[in-house]
A = this chain, B = another copy of it.
Amino acid sequence: MSLITALETSDIRFPTSLLLDGSDAMNPDPDYSAAYVRLVTDASDGLEGHGFVFTIGRGNDVQVAAIDALADHVVGRDVDELLGAMGRTWRELVHDSQLRWLGPEKGVMHMAIGAVVDALWDLKAKRAGLPLWRLLAEMSPEQLVELVDFRYLTDDLTEADALRILRRAEPGRRERTERLLAEGYPAYTTTPGWLGYDDAKLARLSREAVTEGFGQIKLKVGADLDDDVRRLGIAREAVGPGIRIAVDANQRWDRDDAIAWIERLAPFGLAWVEEPTSPDDVLAHAAIARAIAPVPVATGEHMGGRVMAKQFLQADALGVLQIDATRVAGVNENLAMLLLAAKHGVPVCPHAGGVGLCERVQHLSYLDYIAVSGEIDGRMIEFVDHLHEHFVTPVEVTDGRYRAPSSPGSGAEMRETSRSEYRYRGTDV
């Protein structure tokens, strides 16, 4: 028997605001950060579980404190007991009745639970000698269903529905795994489109995206309408008519502003409109979706959890679900969201970028493709070529496609030198 002997946290911040990488209409100067957790055991294999919550700077310390508050749930516990029933482990953390008050099931405490749950998944995958996607995609439908908490979902998705979805995808698993390994998984790039970049840089990066094989780029919009019209024109000219252009407003608009603004941008041909308004506003998104159809609404990176995902799908308030690796309570809750999307026939195109989000969220898309929706058409993972060098197994994107990793683990492990170098020391980064 081996025990978890330590839950060690660190506050890691990269000074990304200095270059305006990541600048958008709501986030002018993010410092991409990780509230990082490392689980250590006394097993002779020396394996560790790593996880983190992505934040954009200030408040990363609060997120670290929230992870620390979970130590009693894991330290001193039997590793096999925790890893052997990850559904039960998830429920124990999420249903801690006192901690639950702080959400419930959303926000800082919920994301902290996600970091710890995913550090356990990282450890489990390393112990199995498999990349996380493969560990998950080889679980039986019954094992996968056991990971999901159906509380608050049953008016839309029951355990029986989930089993049906997973069994439907069972026959083609092997073929899709081979296809994934051979051909990769589509990526799109947000690199050209940050608001802080000038027109020349936008045009140059847009052309480079096409050269690099991407079929879709994304532009940040929402700060100034005339600027957006001009920038979209530049981007459209740079990429030509055959490349998809999505726009992302980062929650900048109210409902009616969104509809009016998008009407001006629609002539450039929009792949989707992302985060038009408050991520909590199901009804406004539904109204926007009706108004801008057939252009789909995309949202999810700030979606508090599975209950919100359920409602957005029930209300036809989104056409693209953008799960995020660290916004919800880890792999288990993201699996619930994949199942909800599959039930409604809506494609999942994860949010990524930041620091380490590409490394992590790819595993969930592969799981979706192999064992949940069984689909890849119309699906793609966001890609930003940024900060990957800090990870032990950096993401590999070539010819506009993610290449599925073979290294064991979840992809969350940051190099020790990077963790040390970018450890926040209490002054502005």
Chain A residues close to B by CB (< 8 Å): 26-31, 55-59, 61-63, 65-66, 69, 96-112, 151-155, 251, 254-256, 277-284, 287, 302, 304-305, 307-308, 310-311, 314-315
Contacts and interface: CB of A to CB of B under 8 A. Distances in A.
Contacts of A280: 105-106, 280, 304-305, 307-308, 311
A290 to B, nearest CB: 13
Given A30-B98, A58-B96, A282 B282 contact: yes
A66 B27 contact: no
Contact of A62 (B56, B62, B155, B304): B62
A277 B96 CA distance: 17
A154 B98 contact: no
Contacts of A55: 98, 101-102
A115 to B, nearest CB: 13
A289 to B, nearest CB: 14
Contact of A58 (B69, B155, B255, B277): B69
Contacts of A110: 107
B58 A62 contact: no
25 contacts: A27-B100, A29-B98, A58-B69, A59-B109, A61-B69, A62-B62, A62-B69, A63-B102, A102-B111, A104-B278, A104-B279, A104-B302, A105-B278, A105-B280, A106-B107, A107-B108, A107-B109, A154-B254, A154-B256, A155-B254, A155-B287, A282-B283, A283-B311, A283-B314, A304-B304
A109 B62 contact: yes
B65 A62 contact: yes
A71 to B, nearest CB: 11
Contacts of A61: 65, 69
B152 A277 contact: yes
Given A283-B282, A307-B278, A26 B58 contact: no
Contacts of A106: 106-107, 280, 304
Contacts of A62: 62, 65-66, 69, 102, 108-109, 112
Contacts of A59: 66, 69, 98-99, 101-102, 109
Contacts of A307: 278, 280-281
Main SS at interface, chain A: loop
Given A107-B106, A278-B307, A283 B69 contact: no
A107 B101 contact: no
Nearest to A72: B58
A22 to B, nearest CB: 11
B315 A283 contact: yes
Contacts of A302: 104
Contacts of A56: 97-98, 101
Contacts of A151: 254, 278
Nearest to A104: B302
A136 B61 CA distance: 35
Contact of A26 (B57, B100, B102, B254): B100
Nearest to A311: B283
Contacts of A29: 97-98
A155 B255 contact: yes
Max chain B Cβ within 10 angstroms of own Cβ: one of A26, A69, A109, A155? A155
B256 A155 contact: yes
Contact of A154 (B31, B97, B255): B255
Contacts of A99: 58-59
Given A69-B58, A281-B307, A108 B102 contact: yes
A73 B279 CA distance: 25
